[in-house]
Amino acid sequence: MVNPIHTDRRWRTVAYVNAIVVSLALGYFIAGNPLQVNDSLANMVQVQKAGLREILVDQFTSQGFLRPLLWAQLDITFDLARGRYYETYKAIHIAQVLLAGLLVVSLLRVRTLPSACGAVFAVAVLFGSRTFAGTVYEGFPINTYLTIVLCCLSAAWLALGSGRRWRDVSAVLLFAFAALTVETGLLVWVVLAAAWIAGARGVSSKGLLVTTALLVGYFILRFGPLDVGTPALDERSSGFGFQVIERDQLAVMFADRRYLFYAYNVLSQLAAVLFAEPKSGVFAVTRDAIDGSILPYQVIAVCASTGATILIAWLVATRWRERREGLRSNRTSTFTDTDRLAVIFIAVLGANALVSYPYTKDVIMSPAGAFHALAAGAALATLLERLSVRPARRLVLSIVLCALCATWSIRLVAINYALREHAWIVRNDWTEVFGVNAPIDFTADSRAVALARTLQEQAILRRVPASYFAQPHAYRVLEIPW
Amino acid sequence: MNFLRSASTAPQFRSPATVRDTVLAERGAVDPVSWPAYVAVAPLAVPLMLAVVVVAGWAVDVHPFWSTPDVTLSEAAAIRDAGELYRLLVYEHQDPNRPWPVRAGMDGTEPDNVLPLEMAVRVKRAEIVRILLDHGATVGDAAARTRLICIAVTTNERDVLDALLATGDRTDPRAKCPSSSE
């Protein structure tokens, strides 16, 4: 007979090895991308100019955004890099991706073959989804969105563990760190609260109370003494219907109906995670289907995300029914970790869509996308554990699952392929850094010029595959999300 | 048995058949009856295998998915590879004022020998033209300059035309172009 303890370790090891290998492969393509010019260079020049104290003061007095720790991270890592910017920021990025993969496997509590299958599926959904794409294509030079994904996953990991004092302290610090890094960091509180409501006590009631007090303090500070407010309607261009509306047009179109625009943003962000349509607020698949110009990758994306959502819906419906039956027959029916992941996903999905009301962008929904992957992985594991013994039904289900896994396999390959294409674009951008389209004003700033020259040399000397040599029809199947 | 209680799910209410499947799964034994279900997850092995190749290659400095074929200056212009063009000009010090071979398929069906600047004008890329002009490329004598400007006129690319008109003696020779539209 197989030793059950060894069996537990074996499947867990399989899941972790898969996550590490897939993360490192993604890391390989991230490392192949030069540091980007847009956003990244301007941010680096800013932390080069100002000291940490000056940056923090500036952030606490700015309008629209409250992100002091984002800038603190940039400033500290910039100083620590000591000129080795490419190596430093790529190492941070790859470590973040690896940690995300490991946290997903850890949260799925892999012990059996079905749960290992669920974990492999969850990693594919995490890295293959469009909401995650923006966390690896870009770096500012640290990708803040990925930082928040990690904070949310870490919060879930803290909450779903066994109750310890250090978990409470970590949860409070994690929330403070995330909330002051970027606005979506507030989702850490949502994760902790949803897990607590679902019965998880890794973070105690006291820990949650302190975090809630910090959340209230954040809002008082933001809308009170600091008067940071919220982003204006014309802060950025945004997708609406079948097109992207430019900033000035947005202000004209929705000046008297801004709540209509905000409601559209919230609903389209929800749909983007659940069905991969719309794409950054634009109903591109619908538009292209009407035009007759739809490509296979668009169908694959919609089928993959919708399939994962159906799996989650099945899990929620099944567990809901079982709980009701259990309560009716006076048997105890506690929440399992699988149930808690589903509850956290639903809570994060709603809250994430709400906080992204000002404008639509897929990557803003990356925390919800991460929990979508977790819930889908947990649902698949549960489904595999409960397969009917009737051969016909099992065969049909197997074929459907096979098709679903195939779509996510393609999406996982696609993100690596797209990163390879992206490297060529970023390297080309560096050729014009001092040209007519220079992203920043270099006049009278010799240190900025020296920094840009260093980064330009690092980017240009690192050879990347030219788009010309790519497979000519790959773009039809593999999504390039820009 | 303790290991049965350690599964990811707490006690649930399932049919006897489901319980049997779950117990077998928790023991790590693949139930031969339910194998198609696990085969269903098999497509996910494809990206895993590709990832293994990538990571193993990375470890030994072999890059099967990161091929960077050598190109000439004119080829870099033809395929709009501004980064490689810049590297060849600035770090390899290649001459932008001599014709370089262009393999078949990059700009036309036949191999060619073309000046990088002419190729950049043909493919209508103002940024490539600017990089070349900024790094030592010249439009040549008046006749050569007129010829380049006439090519730009036929391509009807405003930015390329402006960049060329700002070179040399800055005269506008478009009237001399055959069947000029402007």
Indicate the SS3 state at residue B113. Answer: strand
Residues of A in contact with B127 (CB under 8 A): 431-432, 435
A56: pLDDT confidence band, cut at 50, 70 and 90?
Answer: confident
Contact assignment for A4 to B82 by CB distance below 8 Å: no
Mean pLDDT, residues A410-439: 91
Q: Are A98 and A74 in contact (CB under 8 A)?
A: no
Structure-token pair, residue A310: 């159906």
Contact assignment for B40 to A399 by CB distance below 8 Å: yes
Amino acid at A275: F
Q: Are A423 and A35 in contact (CB under 8 A)?
A: no
pLDDT (0 to 100) of residue B160: 94
pLDDT (0 to 100) of residue B2: 37
Higher-confidence position of A9 and A411: A411
Which contacts (CB < 8 Å, 24+ apart) does range A225-228 have?
Answer: A226/A60, A226/A61, A226/A66, A228/A62, A228/A63, A228/A64, A228/A65, A228/A66
For A2, which of B7, B28, B52 is closest by C-beta distance? B28
- The CA R_g of chain B, rounded to the nearest whole Å, is 31
Q: Are A182 and A72 in contact (CB under 8 A)?
A: no
For A431, which of B29, B68, B131 is closest by C-beta distance? B131
Residues of B in contact with A406 (CB under 8 A): 43
Nearest to B182 by CA among B139, B150, B159, B160: B150
Instruction: List, for residues A333-380, the tens digit of each pLDDT value.
Output: 678 999 999 999 999 999 999 998 888 889 999 999 999 999 999 999
Residue indicated by tokens 């559209």 = A264
pLDDT (0 to 100) of residue A192: 98
Counted residue by residue, chain A has a size of 482
Q: Provide the 8-state DSSP code for B114.
A: E
Count of CB atoms situated within 10 Å of the CB of B35: 12
pLDDT (0 to 100) of residue A463: 94
What does A57-113 look like in DSSP terms, one character per residue? HHHHT-SS---HHHHHHHHHHHHHHTT-HHHHHHHHHHHHHHHHHHHHHHHTT--SH
Say what angle helices A144-159 and A85-107 make with each other, to 10 degrees.
Answer: 30
ipTM of the complex: 0.87
Which contacts (CB < 8 Å, 24+ apart) does range B143-151 have?
Answer: B145/B173, B146/B173, B146/B176, B146/B177, B148/B117, B148/B118, B148/B121, B149/B173, B149/B174, B149/B177, B150/B174, B150/B176, B150/B177, B150/B178, B150/B180, B151/B118, B151/B121, B151/B122
Three-state SS sequence of A77-92: HHHHHCCCHHHHHHHH
From the options 1.25.40, 2.60.40, 1.10.4040, 1.10.1760, give the CATH code of B73-176: 1.25.40
Per-residue pLDDT of chain B (182 residues; tens, 9 = 90+): 333 333 444 444 455 555 555 555 555 544 544 566 678 889 999 999 999 999 999 999 999 899 899 999 999 999 999 999 999 999 999 999 999 999 998 887 788 899 999 999 999 999 999 999 999 999 989 999 999 999 999 988 899 999 999 998 889 989 888 875 44
Domain ranges of chain B: 11-59, 73-176
Amino acid at A204: S
Contact assignment for B27 to A431 by CB distance below 8 Å: no
A6: pLDDT confidence band, cut at 50, 70 and 90?
Answer: very low
pLDDT (0 to 100) of residue A152: 98
Residues of B in contact with A468 (CB under 8 A): 79-81, 106
Separation between Cα atoms, residue A338 and residue A441, nearest integer Å = 52
For the cut 60, the answer to whether the pLDDT of residue A473 exceeds it is yes
Instruction: List, for residues A302-320, the tens digit of each pLDDT value.
Output: 999 999 999 999 999 999 9
Contact assignment for B37 to A424 by CB distance below 8 Å: no
Instruction: Provide the shortest C-alpha distance from residue A279 to chain B (in Å).
Output: 24
Instruction: List, for residues B140-180, the tens digit of each pLDDT value.
Output: 899 999 999 999 999 888 999 999 999 988 899 898 888 75
Separation between Cα atoms, residue A173 and residue A157, nearest integer Å = 14
Separation between Cα atoms, residue A37 and residue B30, nearest integer Å = 51
Nearest residue of chain A to residue B131 (CA atoms)? A431
pTM listed for this prediction: 0.89
Contacts of residue A289, Cβ cutoff 8 Å, sequence gap at least 6: none
Residues of A in contact with B83 (CB under 8 A): 424, 427-428, 430-431, 459-460, 464
Mean pLDDT, residues A427-438: 87
Separation between Cα atoms, residue A251 and residue A261, nearest integer Å = 10
For the cut 80, the answer to whether the pLDDT of residue A2 exceeds it is no
Q: Provide the 8-state DSSP code for B80.
A: T
Q: Is A393 exposed, middle or buried (0-12, 13-18, 19+ CB in 10 A)?
A: exposed
Contact assignment for A416 to B106 by CB distance below 8 Å: no
